[in-house]
Amino acid sequence: MAGSLLCPQDCRLRNVPSLMDVSRMGEILKSLGVSLSHQGDVLDIDASHISQTRAPYELVSQLRASFFVIGPLLARLGVARVPLPGGCAIGARPVDLHVRGLQAMGADVQIDHGTVYASIPGSNKRLKGAKIYLDYPSVGATETLMMAATLADGETIIENAAQEPEVADLANFCRAMGARIRGAGTNTIIVVGVPSLHSVDYSIIPDRIEAGTFLIAGAITRSEISLAPVVPDHLAAVIAKLQAVGVDVYEEGLNRLRVVPGDRHIATDIETLPYPGFPTDMQAQFTALLALSEGDSIITETVFENRLRHAAELVRMGADIRVKGSNAIIRGMPFLSGAPVNATDLRASAALVVAGLAAQGTTVISGLHHLDRGYDNLEGKLLKLGAKLKRIHSNAAPVSEPTGITVDTAKG
């Protein structure tokens, strides 16, 4: 959605989910003068008449991804003013890599009172190609700089770039608009700037984290689930760890996976890493599965320093988990018990849902605003698989604001 700002014509995106984050990003684009229409899974975006170069703080503070607008705005209009971003409280996610990269491309960037002011000095208002080395393979910095480079004057080389499938998908989207990008999906991305981009009709890749969450749901409830459409290669690390636990995952057909739980699940160790390593966004869900696996497991979180808060909520359900720094030591238990729990972030909410599916009794999960940021109708999809759950509303909140999910023990 941020990349569509690069195009002075209309763009159509397909396979767009109905998520709170999508709605918030839409509001941010509208505040800049962009026209949007979201019908089903099709999102039409017309950024031909951008009237503002400043994103509003009240919207940006709710969504980390909103900071992505700085690269396209700067590249196309020569100026951008974006407040420092918000999002899930899972740890520090500084934007210094974004800023240094834009400065290397000739931008004047200042941070004042919580807002990043970026502009291109000179008369032609085009960024200049540069060689950029990222100290860390940040997805956000890679995507921001890659988008900015599409309209720069000359060649930009981004080294130690993030290799996530989402980076390659964004590159493919930009290429479909006429950008010249190669190497996306590897650790070196080369972008040759072009004067302008054109209209596109583009289908987004399936969400590998949602797919991984359903694989965990099948494993933890000892249920066979067939899942499509997925890109199996994007889930290689997750599938490998499921197989280490004793869960069989195989390709059932084109872009289709089937999960077949084993007779017993055994402990395994996990270390989160940038792609193609094990994804931090699957760590919480896997913690729930390991809490019901025989033996002792250790999860090491290396990507975010505050992403083990779900452990305390799983302990409320009977899990044996000790957190020491960035490590969670898990001793598998024979069962979990339903309990009232609170989702602390997006993936923690999914972990508590899958744990509730396997627990004995009823689990009530609050903090659903996190869940709705990244899962489209999760409860509806689980209901179709036979899960027993329902969404409830607090008397203190408007009906439009769901506050919890009640999950009963799933039976296969």
Active site positions, annotated = 88
Distance (Å, whole) CA 239 – CA 257: 10
Report the 10 Å Cβ neighbour count for 153: 15
Q: Which two tokens stand for residue 184?
A: 């996306």
Parallel/antiparallel/unpaired status of strands 10-14 and 42-46: antiparallel
| Buried/exposed code over 161-200 (b: 16+ C-beta within 10 A; e: otherwise) | bbbbbbbbbbbbbbbbbbbebebbbeeebbbebbeebeeb
Q: Write out the DSSP string of 336-355.
A: -B--EEE--SHHHHHHHHHH
Distance (Å, whole) CA 212 – CA 196: 37
Give, to the nearest 10 degrees, the angle between helix 346-358 and helix 208-220: 20
Measured in Å, how far apart are the chain's first and last C-alpha atoms? 38
Parallel/antiparallel/unpaired status of strands 363-366 and 340-342: parallel
Which amino acid would we find at residue 142?
A: T
Distance (Å, whole) CA 273 – CA 286: 14
Nearest Cα neighbor of 46 from 34, 55, 30, 37 is 34
Q: Write out the DSSP string of 19-69.
A: -HHHHHHHHHHHHTT-EEEEETTEEEEE-TT---SB--HHHHTT-GGGGGG
Q: Is 296 helix (H, G, I), strand (E, B) or coil?
A: strand
DSSP summary character for residue 194: -
Distance (Å, whole) CA 93 – CA 326: 16
Distance (Å, whole) CA 195 – CA 212: 40
Q: Write out the DSSP string of 103-129.
A: HHTT-EEEEETTEEEEE--SSS---B-
Q: Which residue has the tokens 């004793």?
A: 246
The count of C-alpha atoms lying within 13 angstroms of the C-alpha of 65, restricted to the half-sphere facing its C-beta, is 16
